Amino acid sequence: MMAMSSIRLLFHRIRENWNYKYKIIKTVMDWTVLVYLVIPAAVVTVFIYRSWWIEPPAWIASVPFPLLFAIYFFLLWGGYFKTFVREADIIFLRKNEKLMLGMKQGGIIVSYLAEVLSAALLAVLISPLWMIHYGLSMQHLILFFGLWVSLKWLIMAVNGKLNVHVKGWRSLARSIPVLIGAGIIWRVSYNALQSGSLLPVFIIIIFNAAASMLLLKKRFTSIHTFEQDLSIDEKDKNKYTEMIFGMSMDVEKLPKPKPVRKTPRLYSKSNRIFKNRTPKNGFLELFIKAATRDTEYIRGYLQILGVTAAAIVFAPPIWLKITIAAAGFFFLIVWIGSVWHKLIGSHPFTKKYSGEEGYIKGKNLVTTVLSIPFVIMCLCNVWILLWIRSLFPFF
């Protein structure tokens, strides 16, 4: 009965964790992002992945296998073994050690299984290139991701063992030995996989898995690591929240509150931008000052251009490039309108002029000017691709 109570509590915490993530994503990803970015990106991904099974992309010919191995090394980082403890647990669960310990053990096991699922998804993603282009077998693919997931377990265990409160340059200095050690193991793993002998590969996988379990032994068998468990869970939770808000292009939800400066960095003396004082220029001046003083708006604009440009470059068919460009342009127009409404249209001192000619002309001019770089980027895509391919043939 106690074990069942621990399992129910664990799944309740996991459900709470997913609901928390869902609420954050729902807050950030409104219907404009979903319709004009996420859905097209998903469709493009399916088409590109299907084309890989039919014929490998041209750029893979210039990607040697060691480089692919190095790329997956950078996917090892991030993540901890979570136990799903909460700050209030110290009051109740510490008095019920079996319940708390059962929940912690279940959380660690779930973390192990979650990384196995991640490895399986990565294996499915790379399988057409692995088998069709590199000509390697499914057995080698399974061994490769066995090496990957076992080393990921070891890195997660080591990171959980270190002081999670350390930040700044001390955190960087602490991470260097971990990076070097993981690099050495990954290099040995590459040599073992290339040798074609199964025994060295199995030895490395068992070593990584056993070492991770040994480092987790205290957290797995004792409730006296509560402060460490809580710090790890909170750090992972905050990291996820900051990542979601950082990737958001919705200007209505800024990731962090910013202190108000007595004198802004730009236009500190409120100097005029336009000499000709017309209603249209007045709205334009307000918009320019407000938008350029906040890097969130600048970053959001550059994100739209950058994401669209990258999607156009990597999408092979011409019709898909045109579709992405059209969807990106429409999303840019919606985004500009959202920024204008936030800065000008909803402001108490300017919203009463929203129906006047100067207001409308100013908004239209802003939309036109900010759309020009996007249009130029799309029109010059052919020449940019030719230049990139002359420098990097794998494109």
Indicate whether 257 pLDDT > 60.
no
Q: With contact defined as beta carbons under 8 Å apart, do 44 and 320 qualify? A: yes
Indicate whether 37 pLDDT > 80.
no
250 vs 212 pLDDT, higher one: 212
Alpha-carbon distance values, 41 to 26, 46, 143, 314, 345 (Å): 18, 9, 31, 12, 31
Residue ranges of domains in the chain:
2-247, 279-391
Indicate whether 112 pLDDT > 90.
yes
Predicted local distance difference test score (pLDDT) of residue 276: 72
pLDDT tens readout for residues 359-380:
888 888 888 988 998 888 887 7
Predicted local distance difference test score (pLDDT) of residue 110: 94
Mean pLDDT calculated for residue range 250-277: 53
Q: With contact defined as beta carbons under 8 Å apart, do 395 and 313 qualify? A: yes
CA distance 266 to 264: 6
DSSP string, 296-351: HHHHHHHHHHHHHHHHHHH--SHHHHHHHHHHHHHHHHHHHHHHHIIIIIT-TTTG
Alpha-carbon distance values, 334 to 35, 100, 136, 304 (Å): 12, 49, 46, 11
pLDDT tier, 29 (very low <50, low <70, confident <90, very high otherwise): low
CA distance 281 to 347: 17
Alpha-carbon distance values, 242 to 24, 55, 239 (Å): 10, 38, 5
Indicate whether 268 pLDDT > 70.
no
Mean pLDDT calculated for residue range 65-85: 84
296 vs 313 pLDDT, higher one: 296
Mean pLDDT taken over the chain: 78
| Helix 198-215 vs helix 138-161: crossing angle, to nearest 10 | 20
CA distance 364 to 362: 5
Q: How many CB atoms lie within 10 A of CB 20?
A: 13
Q: With contact defined as beta carbons under 8 Å apart, do 138 and 43 qualify? A: no
SS3 per residue for 40-99: HHHHHHHHHHHHHHHCCCHHHHHCCHHHHHHHHHHCCCCCCCCCCCCCCHHHHHHHCHHH
CA distance 202 to 130: 20
Indicate whether 38 pLDDT > 80.
no
Predicted local distance difference test score (pLDDT) of residue 116: 94
Highest mean pLDDT pick, 45-54, 150-159, 232-241, 360-369 = 150-159
Of 112, 128, 105, 109, residue with least CA distance to 48:
128
- The backbone torsions φ and ψ at residue 76, rounded to the nearest 5 degrees and listed phi first, read -75, -20
Q: With contact defined as beta carbons under 8 Å apart, do 106 and 10 qualify? A: yes
pLDDT tier, 253 (very low <50, low <70, confident <90, very high otherwise): very low
Q: With a threshold of 0.85, does the pTM exceed it?
A: no
Q: With contact defined as beta carbons under 8 Å apart, do 361 and 280 qualify? A: yes
SS3 per residue for 192-260: HHHHCCHHHHHHHHHHHHHHHHHHCHHHHHCCCCHHHHHHHHHHHHHHHHHHHHHHCCCCCCCCCCCCC
Indicate whether 339 pLDDT > 80.
yes
pLDDT tens readout for residues 149-195:
999 999 999 988 876 555 545 666 677 888 889 989 998 988 888 88
pLDDT tier, 208 (very low <50, low <70, confident <90, very high otherwise): very high
pLDDT tens readout for residues 142-159:
999 999 999 999 999 998
